[in-house]
Chain A
Amino acid sequence: MDLSSINPVLLVASLMVASTPILLAAIGELVVEKSGVLNLGVEGMMIVGAVCGFATAVATGSPALGFVVAAIGGAVLSSLFGVLTQFLLSNQVATGLALTLFGLGISALMGQGYVGVRPPSSPRLDLGPLSDLPVVGRILFSHHPMVYLSLALVAGVWWFLRSTRGGLVLRAVGESHDAAHALGYSVVTVRFAAILFGGACAGLGGAFLSLVIVPQWTEGMTAGQGWIALAIVVFASWRPWRVLIGAYLFGGVTVLQLNLQAAGVAIPVELLSMSPYLITIAVLVIISSDRSRAALNAPASLGRVFHASK
């Protein structure tokens, strides 16, 4: 066993990068679910974001613009879900699944001309002397700007849900849409806004895959990351910081197991490959079991259809 070839600084740095798409998608989905809507279309919105961002970045040469358009693309797709579930009162589970299938299909169509094309490179942030610091410079101060944005989003969502009036209204809508409606809040407007936010976040996550991590466009390139994001929201029991822990844990173990393999560590490979899933489940079960109320933490109106007349 030779662990000397694994550089812990690089490991932590690549962990943060590898986790970012899941983190972005999961924090968006958390807000959606907090408002009482279950959108299973995360995978579809991510991949549409991936192709929109990629196409824009290639066409304009600007990755930043790519991310903006990716967020818009994800939000546009999610608005379809919003119209169907909020105005036409369709079943959220079925609509979400359909959204994923639709997203995978339309992204393949949109991406026809982009297979094998190289995107403009997205440089890491260079903070001058800060980025040159040993250890912390590489871990904290020289990432892609989107990594910082994802962390800021987690903090922002946490603050919004906990400390603002808007967050209170959103949670009220998610807990009891009838009560919120009786108080005069527009349930549909709040939920629609949450769905758009979730779509935009998922789109950003997808674009981070196609512009920074991979970086290229390939059909079906999200390969299940949207589903992982959904699972992380549930295991995080709808708490923003736990979403961060869950996403970093999952990404971290994935990166670690690949590094252990590359370093030739003699641990059965099957165990290593399973480990991200096993450890994510184990740890998140442990942190959500420390309070007996954790199981009750799900928004009470999650997945239920609201109609003002009832």
Chain B
Amino acid sequence: MKKRTFLAGVAATALATAAFAGSHGDGPVKAGFIYVGPIGDGGWTYQHDQGRLAVEAEFGDQVETVYQETVPEGADAERAITQMALQGADIIFTTSFGYMDPTINVAAKFPNVKFEHATGYKTADNVATYDARFYEGRAVIGTIAGHMTESNKIGYIASFPIPEVIQGINSAYLHAKKVNPDVEMSVVWVYTWFDPAKEADAAKALIENGVDVIMQHTDSTAPQAAAAEAEGTVYTFGQASDMGAYAPVPRISSIIDEWSPYYIERVRAVLDGTWESGRHWGGIAEGEVVIGEISEAVPEEVRAEALALRDAIAAGEYHPFTGPINKQDGTPWLAEGEVATDEELLGLNFYVEGITAEIPN
């Protein structure tokens, strides 16, 4: 009997908390963040956490932030997000692709809480998505990579075969090929966002197979450290964060994700009561994708070319996926002068012509 009373009490408390969540009234707005790795990863999660800190700095006492690190994608994520909603968060940012379905599921149970899911494609009345056009940055570093490689072999440490990653591989390859027709791309899938030892092993495997420029779509700085062992013969690019500790070599430039403006804008919308669901996809022009300093290891004319490309993308004069581009099997994708639509990019599931590997399904 007592047990039942207790359970009823717990349920009532949970419901009450859920009901109050969102109607924050007098208290500060509570912004929650779910991270896929530790905030000290030096890459992806670190950069999201910088965004969180920017929100705190911007709003001071009006906002309280909470976060949870190293939340596995999948069922565990649903528990973590529910927990955060029960704790009274008004807006929750879930910062990895694999949180897509958990976010949608939890959002259905908490209609008064706002959810923001990074890099996904499912929305609801209280779920917005946001993403960055990483492929724009890939075009710039692909150009640098094409010039810098001497073995004409570029390596790419890829995480999961999802459109966001495939966009990056295609964009980097197209632009490396444009400046260096002999270039080949080796792709290694590690099936993790964060595993420094595996990322380092992947970098070493690429180097042992003759690759001399490595790009990564994983979150730690381990590939940079592994390339540093090669003593100046291998080049890398910082990913998500600047990874400037590895400059000037092996890290010769970087793609930095700058989430702060978006986070501030969305938390302000919650404060003002003007928050609405939507899809946000910013790139170099919005300042969401930033090209890190190009180090002195890169020749002056290459630097100028890369910066010109960056500026053309920012000005809207050039789109990294501009035809003619064929699919891997040789069938035409984009005609001369045609530009890929956002829908096509968000569902991108094939390599462009010239990449010899196959995409795992």
Instruction: Please list the residues of chain A having a beta carbon within 8 angstroms of any beta carbon in chain B.
Output: 5-7, 10-11, 14, 18, 21, 108, 111-112, 115-118, 121, 209, 213-216, 218-225, 254-255, 258-259, 261-264, 266, 268-270, 273
Contacts and interface: CB of A to CB of B under 8 A. Distances in A.
Contacts of B39: 219
Contact of B356 (A213, A216, A264): A264
A14 B196 contact: no
Q: Determine which residue in B37, B42, B197 has the highest number of CB atoms from chain A within 10 A of its CB, and name it.
A: B197
A223 B196 contact: yes
A294 to B, nearest CB: 30
Contacts of A224: 195
12 contacts: A111-B40, A214-B200, A214-B225, A215-B225, A218-B42, A219-B40, A221-B196, A255-B201, A262-B205, A266-B358, A268-B360, A269-B360
The 5 closest A-B pairs by CB, nearest first: A219-B38, A116-B245, A258-B205, A269-B360, A219-B40
B188 A218 contact: no
Given A220-B38, A221-B197, A259 B357 contact: no
Interface stretch (B174-182, B206-214, B318-326, B341-349): B206-214
Nearest to B45: A219
Nearest to A116: B245
B38 A261 contact: no
A185 to B, nearest CB: 39
A214 B210 CA distance: 20
Size bracket of the B interface: 35 or more
A216 B201 contact: no
B189 interface: yes
A220 B70 contact: yes
A121 B191 CA distance: 29
Interface of B: 37-42, 70, 155, 186-192, 194-198, 200-202, 204-206, 208-211, 220-222, 225-226, 228-229, 243-246, 356-358, 360
B42 A115 contact: yes
A268 B161 CA distance: 12
Contacts, number: 120
B208 A116 contact: no
Given A111-B40, A263-B186, A268-B360, A223 B209 contact: no
Given A213-B197, A219-B38, A223-B197, A258 B220 contact: no
B201 A14 contact: yes
Contacts of A11: 208
Nearest to A216: B225
B197 A225 contact: yes
Given A221-B220, A223-B196, A258-B205, A108 B188 contact: no
A218 B220 contact: yes
A18 B190 CA distance: 15
Given A216-B196, A218-B222, A273-B191, A6 B40 contact: no
Contacts of B202: 258, 262
B205 A261 contact: yes
Nearest to A115: B40
Contacts of B360: 268-270
A218 B225 CA distance: 11
B225 A269 contact: no
A220 B37 contact: yes
